[in-house]
Structure 1
Amino acid sequence: MFGFPTATLLDCHGRYAQNVAFFNVMTEAHHKYDHSEATGSSSWDIQNSFRREKPEQKSPDSKTLQEDSPGVRQRVYECQECGKSFRQKGSLTLHERIHTGQKPFECTHCGKSFRAKGNLVTHQRIHTGEKPYQCKECGKSFSQRGSLAVHERLHTGQKPYECAICQRSFRNQSNLAVHRRVHSGEKPYRCDQCGKAFSQKGSLIVHIRVHTGLKPYACTQCRKSFHTRGNCILHGKIHTGETPYLCGQCGKSFTQRGSLAVHQRSCSQRLTL
């Protein structure tokens, strides 16, 4: 477009008046063309000169780039606290709340706060009773998609989490984490009252009831209360007459596994005499 000496600045202004930025570029080009007659520069030289003098685009900080494949550079966002990188700025913002402790999403029912809006939505189903995820096998419903996925493994028998020490498998990762403490001897849950430690949080909760005297599970038949749900269920078999634990040596049956174990020891001693 720079190769026409008869073209005037006014012509270009009339053609590109709606693009002020382009008009400014053309003004500079015309200025160079006018001086080219004195220097003997060709229109080709002026075009190349204009291309060379285009302002270079600033490259993003090298810390925010990574090369995924040849010729493709992907922006990444790096946490200044731990160095972890993310491909989306929103993911970095969410991650940074781990360090700051910020939990901007608060439940209007109980006041509990969360780092992510999705976690708040899932939590609120506790109050609303909503369970949108239903098992196709048995119809049982769940408030979380992950809980449904774990439940479905009951039907499929899938246990994808395996202990590297004893090769025992589990349906979910949390059960595997608890099991590993059998090998490590780790007991991270300690009672503030007596100092006794436990490998599982649930075991500590049950233990604390010994100190508080709390017995939240009551028998529907006689109203007797118990520290744990399991003990309440075992007690209920007294009323139903159910005795599922059978001694293989003498045939006597019991309502509780512990009672059977005690009986079997005495039964074995009698047989050896």
Structure 2
Amino acid sequence: MGMSKRKGRGVKRHRCQHCDKSFTTSTSLKIHLRVHTGEKPYSCDQCGAAFTRQDTLKIHQRIHTGDKPYSCDQCGAAFRRQDTLTIHQRIHTGDKPYSCDQCGAAYTQQRNLEAHKLNHTGDKPYSCDQCGAAFTRQDTLKIHQHIHTGDKPYSCDQCGAAFTQQRTLKTHQCIHTGDKPYSCDQCGAAFTRQDTLKIHQRIHTGEKPYSCEQCGETFSCGGSLKSHQRIHTGEKPYWCGQCGKTFSRSENLKRHQHVHTGEKPYWCGQCGKMFSQRSNLKSHRRIHTGEKPYWCEQCGKTFSDSRCLKKHQLIHTAS
């Protein structure tokens, strides 16, 4: 008799009339039905947020109390939820239990895998009602919407700089602390951001995953490819407010602006002469070193500056 009772415990006798989902207890069914009715009987006395389950309310209240009862035995990081700790621990174990059946890419969280799968389908289910931009993830849409609202909820307590994302604030704070937590195991170079370290490591591996579909030239980072493509498109999105001159790269505009400001940030360690552009300093240094890397194919004469070579070549073309 006792054996048959134990066997019956796992049977899902309680069925939802709305979606045919089944449960082992009537209490579980009652909680589930709130998904359909919208009932949220448990509310937070601090902020009014409401929940369908009492245990979910309890977890939420830790936001207000600051309570983080689950801590990592590897690094001491603390969390409000047990499942968040479990996900975190995969950083240390390297465990990535969720893998893509299309390309084999693996992830620590199922939601990251689901978002990744949209890359294969091309589906972007989350769209901005302001400009129509579409995204594969809801959190990415939320961050994007700050462009329209101007909302920057994360601010630095050192200098007041504000950011749309918490991780951007965290990276910014490294300026004040001097902290560079990501270091290269090949050469020891340290960085404030993990993605910057990843790009740097391609110097050692030689990896250049970004290629130009126009000419086939490859690059180690997407930003360099984007700048390169402007050679083909002729696009010059950066313009000088003083004279209207346009540039394909922001750093070229910055260098140009020294002409208007009179700023000369580059100086020669040999004679102290100052220059507005690094390239001019480089040419100047050849006066001290005697280096003449530019040579004429017609007569073999060498020059320290490419402009001098160009001027000289006119002698040959004129004759």
Summarize the Cα distance change of 1:219–1:112 in structure 2 as closer, same or farther, 3 Å threshold: closer
Secondary structure of the residue that 1:126 maps to in structure 2?
helix
- Counterpart amino acid of 1:54? K
Summarize the Cα distance change of 1:162–1:222 in structure 2 as closer, same or farther, 3 Å threshold. Answer: same
* Distance of 2:277 and 2:154 partners within structure 1: 36
Which residue among 31, 46, 51 is the counterpart of 2:2?
51
CA gap 1:257/1:79 in 2 versus in 1, 3 angstroms: closer
SS for the counterpart of 1:130 is coil
Cα drift, residue 241 of structure 1: 1.4
2:223 counterpart residue number: 202
**Structure-2 separation of matches of 1:58 and 1:174:** 47
Moved over 4 A (4+): 77-86
State, as a whole percentage, how many aligned pairs show the same letter: 43
The residue aligned with 2:247 is: 226
Structure-1 separation of matches of 2:144 and 2:240? 30
Q: 1:250 to 1:212 in 2, by over 3 A?
A: same
**C-alpha distance in 1 between matches for 2:285 and 2:105:** 60
Give deviations 1:6-28, integer Å, cap 9, x for gaps.
Answer: xxxxxxxxxxxxxxxxxxxxxxx
Q: CA distance change for structure 1 residues 217 and 145 in 2, over 3 Å: closer, same or farther?
A: same
Residue segments in structure 1 that go unaligned for 5+ positions in a row = 1-49, 61-73
* Alpha-carbon distance, 1:222 to partner: 1.2
Look up the SS of the partner of 1:251 in the other structure: coil
Q: How many equivalent residue pairs? A: 202
For 1:126, the aligned partner's letter is I
AA in 1 matched with 2:259: I
Deviation, structure 1 residue 79? 7.0
Distance 1:186 1:268, change over 3 A: same
| Bigger radius of gyration among the two | 1
Aligned match of 1:214 in 230, 235, 239?
235
TM-score by length of 2: 0.57
Partner of 2:153: 132
The 1:133/1:249 distance shift into structure 2, 3 A limit, reads same
Q: Secondary structure at the match of 2:185?
A: coil
Residues 82-101 of structure 1: pairs in structure 2 closer than 5 A = 92=110, 95-99=113-117, 101=121
What's the counterpart of residue 185 of structure 2? 164
Q: Would you say the 8 A contact 1:189–1:200 is kept in 2? A: yes
Q: Which runs of 5+ in 2 are unaligned?
A: 13-82, 84-96, 292-319
- Map Cα deviations across residues 156-204 of structure 1 (whole Å, 9 max, x no partner): 1110011010011100110001000111111111112221111121111
Q: What is the TM-score of this pair, normalised by structure 1?
A: 0.66
